[in-house]
Every structure is written in structure tokens, then in C-alpha cells.
Amino acid sequence: MAHAFNRTITGKIIGRLDPVEQALLRSLLIQLASLLHKTDESENADPIAQLVGIQELAERPEDPALLRLFPDAYRDDESAANDFRRYTESGLRSQKTNRVDSAIAILDRADNKIELTYEEAQLMLGAMNDTRLVLASRLGLTNELNLDGLLAKESESGGPAHMYEWLTWLQETLVRAIADEKN
């Protein structure tokens, strides 16, 4: 059973997950990584634009989960939103991808005890948050009442809403451990 993340007197942040929970968290992070990794790299892309992270064309994602991760900067102006996306999405996607890849590597080196430096905890926190955003999108969660209804439907079987609630709890304990000033 998962134990909350806590900060030790040495400043390390430690959480404990049983093997099933660790495999579940790793699986969720891997799914996020596969969603984030680009698969449509263009061979004809301008190398200078690639170097500075500008996309030739950038359009609003059709996938609601990706839209949750990369929201429109201008809700009332599609052209301005797509133009803004041209200049920012590549860099933001790269940051999110590197963060989730780092979080997976952290879990790969851990046993049931996950030890994190402050910087690793920040990486893990960001990856968990992005995972929660994707799960919320997939579940259609817009508020706490929706979550309560989904949890009630899954009360006997467990399911994605319970994963979302567990991940929320785990993330909350990590936030508290990061904020703890025991250093």
C-alpha cells in the first residue's frame, strides 16, 4: 500500500509504493510519454525553425487530452491561438516529454522506496500533474461532483476514476513533502 511522500531530515523526499502501485504509476507515465512524443517529424522542416523551436504549421489538437496539456492562448481568436502555438508548443512539448521521461527513469531505478532530490521531486510532480490532466480529460471530469459520481459508479470494481483519485492523493503528498522545510 502506498505511503505518503515525506521529507527526511537529510532533505530527501521519500515515498513508498508496493510493486503493483509502482507498476501502475509507471504505466500511466509511459502512456503520457507516448502521447507526448511526436511521431510526425517532417523531413522537409526548416532546420533553423527546428533549431529555435518554431513549427511551420501548428493547429489546435483534436485530442481533448492534448488540448488540456496545450490549451489555446487566445480562446476567441483561432488564428492568434495557432500562431502562438507555432512559437511555443514545440518547447513546451519538449519540456513535458523530458519531465515524464525523467520520472519514468526515476521509477525504473527505484524499488518500493522512491527517493527523490528536490529537483527530481519537481520533475515527478510535473509529470504526475500532466498525467492527472490527461486522465481528467479522458474521464470527462470538469468538477468534483463529476468525480464523486464516477467514484460511486466504480465503488465495487475500481477503475480509472479511482486511479485519478489515487494519483491526486499521491501528488498532494508530494506537494506537501516539497513544501516541508525540514532541510
Region 147-151: what's the mean pLDDT? Answer: 80
Are 52 and 21 in contact, with CB atoms under 8 Å apart? Answer: no
The confidence band for 181, taking pLDDT boundaries of 50, 70 and 90, is low
Instruction: Select the more confidently predicted residue: 79 or 172.
Output: 172
Query: What's the pTM?
Result: 0.84
| Conformational region of residue 143, where left means phi above 0, alpha means psi within -120 to 50, and beta covers everything else | beta
Q: What is the pLDDT of residue 1?
A: 58
Region 59-74: what's the mean pLDDT? Answer: 89
Q: What is the pLDDT of residue 161?
A: 86
Q: How far apart are CA 152 and CA 13, in angstroms?
A: 33
Residue 113 bridge partners (DSSP)? 16
Domain span holding position 39: 3-179
Question: How many distinct structural domains can be found in the chain?
Answer: 1
Q: How far apart are CA 165 and CA 96, in angstroms?
A: 22
Structure confidence by residue, pLDDT tens digits, 96-131: 999 999 999 999 998 878 999 999 999 999 999 999
Structure confidence by residue, pLDDT tens digits, 37-56: 864 454 446 666 666 666 66
62: DSSP letter: S
User: Of 180, 70, 168, 69, whose CA–CA distance to 128 is shortest?
Assistant: 168
Segment among 27-41, 70-84, 101-115 with least mean pLDDT: 27-41
Q: What is the pLDDT of residue 44?
A: 46
Q: What is the pLDDT of residue 43?
A: 46
- Asked if the model's pLDDT at residue 146 lies above 70, the reply is yes
